[in-house]
Amino acid sequence: MKKLLIIIFTIFLQSNAHSQGLDSHKLIWKFKTEGTLSTSPICFSDGLSDVLIAADEDKYLYAIDSKSGKEKWKFKTNDTITKTPVSFLDFLIVVDDKYLYALDINNGRVKGKFKDETFRGPALPIICNGIVIFESYREVFGLDLKTGKVKWQNLYESHLKSEAVVFEETVFFPEDSNVHALDINTGKEKWIYKTSFEVESPVIAGEYLLLCDFYGLIALDIKTGKLKWRKPIDGHVYTPIVKNDLVYFDFDVKGAQEGHYIACLSISTGDWIWNRQTRKTLFSNRLVLGLGKVFIEGEDNYLFGFDAQTGEIPFLNKMTDKFLFRPTLADLGVYFVNHDNNLYSVDTLGTVKFIYKTVDEILYAPLVVNGYAVDKGNDIENSMWGGFFEKNGVIYLGCADKYIYAVEK
């Protein structure tokens, strides 16, 4: 009976989605770049308007007025920019394969420049207290933003594979099966926590630091590194998402209980709030949390919306084609991309709306940068490339024809 109700509800939603038809779109402006975009764009406000920052494969960095589409300034680097730029006050931190640049965010002029021959660490730079923290293979640097000089530099035994995070004046990062806590100002180690398995990127949750490895979820006291609790799980646990005192995550289990699970724990106690076994065909590590829902999609074309408080499924939609990437949170729901080359949105009731059709296949996953949805595609002519994100009713698209488009929703 329950399966029958789900099927009826799904059919209703699908018919409701198709009845929406195509939304109308109006091109506001388009901006020509020298090459296809090489990183996800970002957006910041200069006090007068929102400004888009975009980098292309021809080594150029652009600042574009989001209202007019006019170029505010352009800067050329030594090599292709490999990481999304990071803004901090009046600084814009830009990284290519050999240099870290500190630019004046208002005019693109160089304020500082740092060279490293192996500048290819896994993560974006982090800025705190005027210090830029960045990783390069087995090293972590603390760079003074004003002087451009290295304040401290630490070398480790293993390559650094995951992103660091910052809380107050401490930076946390995993190194193989160890988690390090360093003083941002001096680089001195405050504490180190050793696990039995390789640790993925830590997650800050108030007074806790959450870690996940292949066999469980760990909560540490963020100031001392002491173990608060550990939730053993006989399977691979993926990077958690935190909301208030709750942590959401998915995991794969082998053996008698084999399957894919989505779960919610209390951060303060480590107790289960809910734990749901789902379809084996769900994609791993692709949860999206927001608007009271936990969204995840499956290889069998289904999009799930779990109630974040109870774990119940208020909607279950089967789409016309396979999902390419993780859904991306929007103002009223989520964006997602299918193999049919369409960009859709789904609201919290499961209603599907057509948003934008690309000319060719989109190959790279949507990301969230500064709260906006960003996506990258392939280099086939006129396919979506370099990103989309939506703000104030406008969708910004980067395409392989070397244009950035602003389209009114």
Domain total of the chain = 1
- Give the domain range for residue 227: 195-267
CATH number, residue 201: 2.40.10.480
In a domain, 202, yes or no: yes
Q: Does the residue 91 lie in any domain?
A: no
Q: Over its length of 409 residues, how does the chain's per-residue pLDDT go in tens digits?
A: 434 333 323 333 333 333 344 455 577 888 888 887 787 777 777 666 778 888 888 899 999 988 889 999 999 998 888 778 888 888 888 888 778 888 998 899 998 888 765 555 546 678 888 888 887 778 888 888 878 788 999 888 777 767 788 999 999 988 888 999 999 999 999 999 998 888 877 999 999 999 987 778 999 999 999 999 999 988 788 888 999 999 999 888 776 677 788 899 999 999 999 998 876 666 666 777 888 888 877 777 777 788 999 999 877 777 766 665 667 666 667 777 666 666 777 777 778 776 666 555 443 333 333 333 333 333 223 333 334 455 566 777 677 677 777 777 6
pLDDT value at position 71?
Answer: 94
Judge whether 227 lies within some domain: yes
- The answer to the question of residue 219 being in a domain is yes
pTM over 0.85: no
Distance, CA of 183 to CA of 390 (rounded, Å): 37
Q: With respect to residue 320, please indicate whether it lies within any of the assigned structural domains.
A: no
- Examine residue 363 and state whether it is found in any structural domain, yes or no: no
Question: Is position 131 within any domain?
Answer: no
What does the DSSP assignment read for 258-318?
A: -EEEEEEEETTT--EEEEEEE-TTBPTT--EEETTEEEEEBTTSEEEEEETTT---SEEEE
- Residue 6, SS3 per DSSP: helix
First vs last C-alpha separation in the chain: 40
In a domain, 207, yes or no: yes
